[in-house]
Structure formats: structure tokens, C-alpha cells
Amino acid sequence: MSQDLMVMLEQAFEESTKLYKERGFQRRVGFGKRPALVSVDLANAWTRPGNPFTCDQEKMDNEIIPGMQKLLKAFRAANLPVIHVTTAYEITDRNASFTDMGLWHNKIPIDVVNLADKELWAIDSRIAPIEGEYTLLKKRASSFHGTELAGILRANGVDTILVTGVTACACVRQTICDGIADGFRPIAVKECIGDRVPGAVAWNLFDIDAKFGDVESVDRCVDYLNTIGQSRS
């Protein structure tokens, strides 16, 4: 993101913060007692170059993936739930009389993420699931919409979701919005959220922090996870 754009955003955030605080926004939802990691669309079509969905590669390689590796290490050490979310479609012919793409293909090129090409929707090998972790296949932006996610979380006693992934303006944001609507405490992990569009991450994290969940750093989240792990040992 250019320095000029960052300066403009910071000015907008400063003005918006004044308004929000005057009106009682930007409250804290806080960490709960049992968290799960919900990692959204950190699959090859988004994390690797050469796809219409490819996100900012510099941030992906130098910030998101290393941050995810730290989080995964902490979650695994504490034996806490990890859900890897990805997106793919079985019927990608836009002229078909019936398709699992719904109407979304009329806005964005979801038809390129074909279920038959597992490499596209497979979770990035640098943060690949291990035994005991769950991979959830979704069809819409939110990880909750039309999926088993809420039921799985409740059945496992989860009250807090640490949300990572892409994109900030769509699937991550919608997952966080639906998460708090379904009664979970959403924590957006700052360094582990990306997008394709300059400025989209900064703006959406600011707005999420004001209205839908708390934005916390990787280090703060790891400290929280370590504390839970120690209390259970």
C-alpha cells in the first residue's frame, strides 16, 4: 500500500474514531474461555500467484503465513480446535441449468475454483491441516452461511473464534459478522488477514474493530492461547 494511501486512511480513521467514541462504539467483546481458530480461504487459489483470487503476495509470504504458523503452533500445543475453511464448486459451467455457484458467479469469477482441481482449493502446504483438524468446504462468503460451522463450534464448547484469512472485505468480514450474530466472540488476528485491494485490510479491520469484533495482534493472541494451555495442563 502506498504511503499516500496510508496517510489518507489514517486521517479517516482518526476522524471516525472521534465520532465512534462519542456515540459509544469501539467497545470490547474480549476473549472467552475456549477458543477455536477459523482460518478462511488460505488455500492455494488465494495464497499462491497466478489465480484471479490471488492476494497480496508480499503480505501473504512475509506476514500472513508466518503469523498463521505461530498461531497453529499455539493452538496445537493447547489442543484447541482448528477449522481450515476453503471454497470450491462442483458445477462450474455458467450456462448450466443447475449449479452450486448460486448467483455469485454473476459478480466474481468463482467458476475458476473447481472442486475437481483439488490443488486450487487445498489449504496452503505451509499451514496444512494435521490429524485432528477439520477442513470445511463453503460455497458463500461467510464460513457460517449454509455450513455446519456453528454446530461444530457449539458441540465443542467454543465461545471465541480467532479469525484469519482472506479477504478482509468479503469472506473474513462476513465470517466475523455472522460469528458475533451466532453468539461467538470474534477476534480478528491483525497480521493474518489479507486482501487483493490496497487499503482494504486496513479499512475493514478498523471497521470490524468498531462494530463486530476485536482486532488483536498475533502476539497478543498467542499469549492468550498459552495462558489457556497452561491452565489446562
Q: Which residues are catalytic?
A: 171
Q: Cβ-count burial of 103 within 10 angstroms (0-12 exposed, 13-18 middle, 19+ buried)?
A: exposed
CA distance 167 to 60: 11
The SS3 call for residue 151 is helix
Q: Which residues fall within 8 angstroms of residue 186, CB to CB, at 6 or more apart? A: 29, 160, 161, 163, 175, 176, 179, 180, 208, 212, 213, 214
CA distance 183 to 198: 31
List the grid coordinates of 39.
482460518
**What are the respective helix, strand and coil percentages of the chain, to the nearest 5?**
45, 20, 40
Closest CA to 43 of 93, 113, 91, 139: 113
Residue with cell 474493530: 209
CA distance 97 to 214: 43
